[in-house]
Amino acid sequence: MYAVTGITGQVGAAVARSLLSAHQPVRAVVRDRAKGAAWAQLRCDLAIADLADVDALTAAFEGAEGVFAMLPPVFDPAPGFPEAVRFIETLHEALVRAKPTKIVVLSTVGADAPQPNLLNVLGLLERALSDLPQPVTFLRAAWFMENAAWDIASARSGVIQSYLQPLDRPIPMISTDDVGRTAAALLQERWEGQRVVELEAAQRVSPKILAAAFAKALGHPVRAEGVPREQWESIFRGQGMQNPAPRMQMIDGFSAGWIDFKDRGAHARKGAIGIDQAIATLIQRERA
């Protein structure tokens, strides 16, 4: 049995689908039984647990051959990531108590970056789980291609606003479906100790390449337009963010190149989905 957290999101769902397609039993870890109904129909075992409830989370992990563990997304953290730190402590305690055979943890490119930025929270997660006695894989995934869903409306008008700059600089990206498939495959592998697995698409993506993918999917020209950095804070605060600095620092890191795989992905695993396919899928889903 493989316990999957985050199963109601894109990555967790992709992990579960991949395991099920390999005829592996899945335990869906959900906070609300109603949200697990679709997975129950697929004959998944259901475990009702909140990341803040160490007893429920322990029960969800007990007896598992493997656990896919991830944190809820952190977009607007308070200084020091206090909410995420509490989740990390609970997750660690549950894994210590439950003693699953092996663990795959969703992390990110840049988790090891020393500069302050939004992705530091995954560095905290890696360090906290590094003392577990079981085999642990930290899956450091690139920037999600599906983040481009926020750009669909503007792309329809012929332009996408980019915070990543310069516009022709490619960065490592990956589809969430590839992340899920890779995590499911890792769960079924045998290894000893701890390891880091990096994952990105075969081709890196710049804002201009992203705009071209939208143009191809929509059938009309689309261009990328840079958002001046001096406008970022007011824009993000206008969107409701209370602490935009970590997000701004993260974007700076990708743009400047200090958020990257150490060897620019030379030894990273490569996903099968390219940006054209990912954007076409996003457009199809919106139209459905």
Token pair for residue 113? 């970056």
Residue 222's pLDDT is 98
Give pLDDT tens digits for 145-172: 999 999 999 999 999 999 999 999 999 9
pLDDT of residue 74: 86
Summarize the confidence of residues 244-259 as an average pLDDT. 97
What average pLDDT does this structure show over 204-215?
A: 98
Nearest to 146, CA basis, from 228, 201, 222, 72 = 201
For all residues of the chain together, what is the average pLDDT? 97
Q: Is the pLDDT of residue 26 over 90?
A: yes
What's the mean pLDDT in 13-20?
A: 98
In this prediction, residue 213 has a pLDDT band, given cuts at 50, 70 and 90, of very high
Q: What was the pLDDT predicted at 244?
A: 97
Q: What is the mean pLDDT of residues 244-258?
A: 97
| Predicted pLDDT of residue 141 | 98
Q: Name residues whose C-beta falls within 8 Å of residue 216's C-beta, 6 or more positions apart in sequence.
A: 276, 279, 280
pLDDT at 212 over 90: yes
**pLDDT beyond 90 at 242:** yes
**Amino acid at residue number 262:** K
Task: Please state the rounded mean pLDDT for residues 192-217.
Answer: 98
* Nearest residue to 206 (alpha-carbon basis) of 259, 164, 258, 174: 164
Confidence of residue 288 (pLDDT cuts 50, 70, 90): low
Question: Is the pTM for the entire model greater than 0.75?
Answer: yes
Structure tokens belonging to residue 160:
């996408």
Percentage, residues of the chain above pLDDT 70: 100
Mean pLDDT of 115-129: 98
Which residues touch 79 (CB under 8 Å, ≥6 apart)? Answer: 243
Contact 165, 226 (CB under 8 A): yes
The average pLDDT across 111-138 equals 97
The model's confidence at residue 262, banded by pLDDT at 50, 70 and 90, is: confident
Report the pLDDT value the prediction gives residue 236, as an integer from 0 to 100. 97
Return the residue matching tokens 């055979």. Answer: 101
Quick check: 45 pLDDT over 70?
Answer: yes
| CATH class of the domain defined by 2-143+175-200+262-272 | alpha beta
Across 199-207, average pLDDT: 98
Residue ranges per domain, the chain?
2-143+175-200+262-272
Rounded alpha-carbon distances, angstroms, from residue 283 to 48, 152, 179, 214, 271:
33, 8, 20, 9, 20
